[in-house]
Structure formats: C-alpha cells, structure tokens
Structure 1
Amino acid sequence: MSSETAPTHPALVGYLFWILGFVGAHRFYFGKPLTGILWFFTGGLFLVGWIVDLFLIPSMADEANRRFHPGEVDYTLTWVLHTFLGLFGVHRFYMGKIVTGVIYLLTGGLFGIGYIYDTLTLNEQIDEINVS
C-alpha cells in the first residue's frame, strides 16, 4: 500500500465494527466471510475469539488494504450503508446498482436473502467496481 493512498479498510473502523464483533461484523468488513459466519453462529467463538480479535484488527486491516483496490466506491461508506440501511438497498444505490437497489427497496433486500448475499460478498463487489 502506498503512503499516498488512503486505506480501503481503516483499523479504526474495524474497531468500531468489533463492538458488534461477537456477531462477526468486523470479520465481514475485513473480507473474511467464513470466519464471520463462524463468529455469527458461535458468539465470536464464545467471546474468546472476539477478545483475541481486539489484538488482531491491525493485521486484518493491513491484509484487507493490500487485497482490495481503492477507487470510486468507498468500502467503509458502503459497509455502513449496508449495515444500517441494507434491507432498503441504499448501499446498492451508492454503488451504482440502481436496478437491484430498487428491487431491494421493494422487497426488503430480496426478503433478507440479498442482504445476506451482500454481507458475504460486498468487498468483492466493491473491488470489481473499483478495478473496472
């Protein structure tokens, strides 16, 4: 990562998502959907993994910053929109996906299934937009 480029996944934001980390929010944000699912179903590995992650967030942020490309669509803003307004498709409107944004708006994020899909793939979707 260049020192001139702002990080795609700042550690500070990771710490804010960590507050909800016992459900895996910070792991999804950093592009780790499999362990995010594990944290979701086990309460952050019975809170032990959640506490350990407090110390692992800087390395997870560095890894995500190397893996995902910066660009027109901001990862953090998209994740915040998805987290709080995702069932209404607001994050999809922001990414320029107007048709699916309208579908999400009218169907509650495709009845929640689309919301889950986006939780698992949002970083890759943003990366694809930023690379093209």
Structure 2
Amino acid sequence: MKIKLFLSALMLTFGALTISYASFPVEKTTTNNVTVVENQEDELSSPATADSGKSQVTALILVALIGGLGIHRFYLGYTWQGIVQLLTLGGCGIWALIDLIRIITGDLQPKNGSYSKTL
C-alpha cells in the first residue's frame, strides 16, 4: 500500500514537471475580410507568467501535508532540491520541518521572485 502511494506521488510529481505551455499566433478575420495575426499571450501561455503567481499559503499547505516528499520545493521552482528531498524523504523529516519554518517566516521564496499571495 505504501509503495503504491509513493509511486503515485512520484508519477504525479514528474507528470507535473513535464507540462509545458505554448504561445502561438492567432489569426482573426475582421469585418473587412482582412486577416490579422496577433500574438496572443494569456496567463497560461507563458512559463514566466505562470511562475510568478506562487502563493505562500499553498507552499505552506504542501510542506505541512507532504513535506517529506519535497513537493513544495517543486512548486517553488527548486527542482533539484525537490528531487533530493523526494529521495531522502525530506532528510528524514528534518529538512521538511526547516522548510516549514522558513515558509512561515517568509524566508523561503519562489525561485523566480516573491510570493504573489502571502499569509
């Protein structure tokens, strides 16, 4: 049972890492039958925009519930540290506890900026 849960969490983690977003030109026809090509970028089309909207509350919930798996590190953009935490089960819980305190105090920020929503 524990192995199935661990493998499910592992597959979910690596599945989330492989998601990519694309921005592409959109053709629009006006009333004069003129085709206009616009480069439409919304919130999900740009990885830089998607990274900037991190919530401190979400990071806190992730570290509190499944901190030993390091999912909060993946969420904050620290992929290699997330992998190490996943393999060591959060440093036997010690690293996850330190991250919990750092997220509460605001010391552990997202890799590419700061939180858009704080406590």
TM-score normalised by structure 1 residue count:
0.42
Higher strand share: 2
Greater Rg by CA: 2
